[in-house]
Amino acid sequence: MHTHSGHHHSHHHPEIKGKNLVVAIFLNVLITVGQIIGALFSHSLSLMSDALHNLSDVMALLISYVANKLSKRKPTKSHSFGFKRAEIIAAFINAATLLGVSIYLMVEAFERIVTSKEVLVKGDVVIWLAALSIMANCLSVLLIQKDARHSMNMKAAYLHLFSDMLTSIAVLLGGFMMKYYELYWVDSVLSIIIAVYLIVSSWKLVMGAVKVLMQFKPDHIDFDELVGAICKIDKIKGVHHVHVWQLSDHDSHFEAHIDMEEDFKLSEVDGVLDEVRELLHHRFHIHHTTLQAEFNVCEDRSVLNKRE
């Protein structure tokens, strides 16, 4: 007997204000293009690194916008899970690309330092573009601040923009040091610091996306604790063939075979399975469950089905 979660817990997807988000995306696209052109003209690696950080902001905002729209689409016969993993795929591509370019910039900066290759950086260009980036990111932060209180996606984008504003402040200070004190080595040091920050944040995002795509157990769930909690429910003898995974960043799924103590009536079994679903929902934040109740049916009662 197969049963699927029948609870009525609502999955609320907050409505993101499209105009504010579009304006924030437009501002960051402008500043990213401007910084890339300025970095090539001024020979500044730190400005190029900041441009990449801004580019990651654009991707984060786009991902948040698209994910919010796609999450509202209903499943179809061809797409029974909907489009919830579009966000994860986009995040993986974004982070992997950013990771590769950041490593390249860091290698280039190290080469400048090791070979004592002092490149004359146009400090005034760096100053102006860094100042514009600070203003654009500050405005973007104010635009999406309210939405960030109600949406995990927008909160991540908000933190992206706020951290980039701080990075641009560091680049601005570096521009002053290069323009007025001719300390051009500061550019390489700043680009290394920014690149390391981007590599660390990108690596976390890549690994997080890989875990979801590979259907690994969500980090917030203790597998043994979950199995033990189910086995403590009255009339349940044991649980086996357990699978717990994530469909998207915040959407956990669970399936298992529930071994009943006796050959109970169907109405009694439904009551027990409802208890399991409520436990999974409230204690482990799992909203989608598929449970198969059994009585002396399955010979292999191992928690993990090793024959799959």
Whose tokens are 């680049």? That residue is 171
Query: 10 Å Cβ neighbour count for 249?
Result: 19
Name the nearest CA neighbour of 51 among 64, 78, 33. 33
- 10 Å CB burial of residue 252 (0-12, 13-18, 19+) is buried
Name the nearest CA neighbour of 29 among 69, 57, 65. 57
Q: Measure the CA–CA gap between 171 and 194, rounded to whole angstroms.
A: 9
Burial 226-248 (b: 16+ CB within 10 A, else e): bbebbeeeeebeebbbbebbbbb
Residue 86: the pLDDT is 75
Q: Measure the CA–CA gap between 230 and 223, rounded to whole angstroms.
A: 11
Helix 185-213 crosses helix 86-114 at what angle (to 10 degrees)?
Answer: 150
Q: Measure the CA–CA gap between 277 and 213, rounded to whole angstroms.
A: 24
Q: Going by DSSP bridges, is the β-strand pair 251-260/288-294 parallel, antiparallel, or unpaired?
A: parallel
Q: Which domains does the chain have, with CATH numbers?
A: 18-74+81-213 (1.20.1510.10), 217-294 (3.30.70.1350)
Residue 13: the pLDDT is 43
Backbone phi and psi for residue 3, each to the nearest 5 degrees, phi listed first: -130, 150
**Identity at 275, one-letter amino acid code:** E
Q: What is the pLDDT along the chain (308 residues), one digit of tens a residue?
A: 444 444 444 444 444 455 777 888 888 899 899 999 999 999 898 889 888 878 877 877 787 677 667 767 788 888 887 777 777 887 788 778 878 888 888 888 888 888 766 678 888 999 999 999 999 989 988 888 877 676 555 666 677 778 788 888 889 999 999 989 888 889 889 989 888 888 887 888 888 888 988 999 999 899 999 999 999 999 999 999 999 998 877 789 999 999 999 999 999 999 999 999 999 999 999 989 999 999 988 666 788 765 55
The terminus-to-terminus CA distance of the chain in angstroms comes to: 20
What tokens were used for 33?
């293009």
Whole-model pTM: value is 0.71
Whose tokens are 């209903």? That residue is 74
Residue 231: the pLDDT is 95
DSSP string computed for the chain: -EEE---------PPP-HHHHHHHHHHHHHHHHHHHHHHHHHT-HHHHHHHHHHHHHHHHHHHHHHHHHHTTSPP-SS-TTTTTTHHHHHHHHHHHHHHHHHHHHHHHHHHHHHTT------HHHHHHHHHHHHHHHHHHHHHHHHHHTT-HHHHHHHHHHHHHHHHHHHHHHHHHHHHHH--THHHHHHHHHHHHHHHHHHHHHHHHHHHHHTTPPPTT--HHHHHHHHHTSTTEEEEEEEEEEEEETTEEEEEEEEEESS---HHHHHHHHHHHHHHHHHHH---EEEEEEESS--S---SS-TT-
What tokens were used for 162?
């706020």
